Amino acid sequence: DSGVTQTPKHLITATGQRVTLRCSPRSGDLSVYWYQQSLDQGLQFLIQYYNGEERAKGNILERFSAQQFPDLHSELNLSSLELGDSALYFCASSPAGGSSTDTQYFGPGTRLTVL
Amino acid sequence: AQKITQTQPGMFVQEKEAVTLDCTYDTSDPSYGLFWYKQPSSGEMIFLIYQGSYDQQNATEGRYSLNFQKARKSANLVISASQLGDSAMYFCAMREGSTGGFKTIFGAGTRLFVKA
């Protein structure tokens, strides 16, 4: 158990809908990262927050947004869902988040299925 | 261009033997970090080992060691004394960037099968 929690574990929804994925980092970690893992794209970095502020951005679609709250938990919002958004979404956390040495610890993931 | 390349989609190893999973990377940054993660069939991503670009010695963590050859830009994972529980997907990753932001890039992974 990495100490990172994600809810829900599974999510099934329809195209065009909006969902929110939630993540709580390990105690003491200030950075939260979001990743998407799909069969065709592999593991893709979406976005990073550090202590409430956006720190780095990856291949995140405009239909997706994220935020980190004062208690350091984070939410990833996915809207206007398409079939291709079906994937495993991971949250990870690290103590800091501004160097190449940051080791990220992953949560169990949320499996999103868009029908 | 691929930043992280794992050329072995799948590998078999006999239980109790050692196995090497290959990883090559491409970066022009002098400072970067290299990571290996394990993803069992249950889906979670488990951190295994880290190597910094300035580290002089190869990293080791229990049965895992990282064979870091900087000039060749390779960071191979060596698992000694393989166990059945080592059967999983293994991902190599590189973290690079600058004060403007660091990103972690993952390879496509190698699926390891440990035979009894």
The residue among A84 and A102 whose pLDDT is bigger is A84
Percent of chain B with pLDDT over 90: 88
Tell me the per-residue pLDDT of B62-94, one tens digit each, with 9 for 90 and over: 999 999 999 999 999 999 999 999 999 999 999
Average pLDDT of chain B is 94
Asked if the model's pLDDT at residue B24 lies above 80, the reply is yes
Residues A9 and A112: their CA atoms lie apart, in Å, by 9
> Mutating which of A9, A101, A104, A106 best tests the B interface, going by the most B Cβ atoms within 10 A?
A101
Quick one: which H or E segment has residue A79?
none
Cα B30 from chain centre:
19
- B106/A42 touch (CB, cutoff 8 Å), yes or no: yes
CA distance A30 to chain B (A): 15
**Confidence (pLDDT) at A100:** 81
Is the confidence at residue A78, as pLDDT, over 70?
Answer: yes
Residue of chain A minimizing CA distance to B92: A43
What's the mean pLDDT when you consider all of chain A?
95
Do residues B6 and B109 make contact, with C-beta atoms less than 8 angstroms apart? yes
> How big, in percent rounded to 5, are the helix, strand and coil portions of chain B?
5, 55, 45
Dihedral, B56, B58, B59, B60 alpha carbons, nearest 10: -140
Is B30 in the A-facing interface, judged by CB distances under 8 Å? Answer: no
Q: In the predicted model, is pLDDT for residue B2 greater than 80?
A: no
According to the model, what pLDDT value does residue B69 have?
96
Is the pLDDT confidence value at A71 over 70? yes
Is A75 touching B (CB cutoff 8 A)?
no
Mean pLDDT of A73-81: 98
pLDDT at B1: 56
Tell me the CB-side half-sphere exposure of residue B107, using CA atoms within 13 A. 30
| pLDDT for res B39 | 97
- How many CA atoms does the CB half-sphere of A115 hold within 13 Å? 4
CB pairs under 8 A between A and B: 70
B38 touches chain A (CB under 8 A): no
Q: With bands split at pLDDT 50, 70 and 90, how would you rate the model's confidence at A110?
A: very high
Tens digits of residue pLDDT in B25-53: 999 888 999 999 999 999 999 999 999 99
For residue range A5-49, list pLDDT tens digits in order.
Answer: 999 999 999 999 999 999 999 999 999 999 999 988 899 999 999
Contacts of A45 in chain B (CB under 8 A): 103-106
Q: Which residues of A touch B37 (CB under 8 A)?
A: 106
CA distance A33 to chain B (A): 10
What is the reported pLDDT for B104? 92
Using a CB–CB cutoff of 8 Å, tell me whether B2 touches chain A. no
- In the predicted structure, residue A89 carries a pLDDT above the cut 60: yes
User: Across the interface, do B44 and A48 touch by the CB < 8 Å criterion?
Assistant: no
User: Cβ contact (<8 Å) for B44 and A2?
Assistant: yes
Taking an 8 Å cut-off on Cβ atoms, the answer to whether A109 and B37 are in contact is no
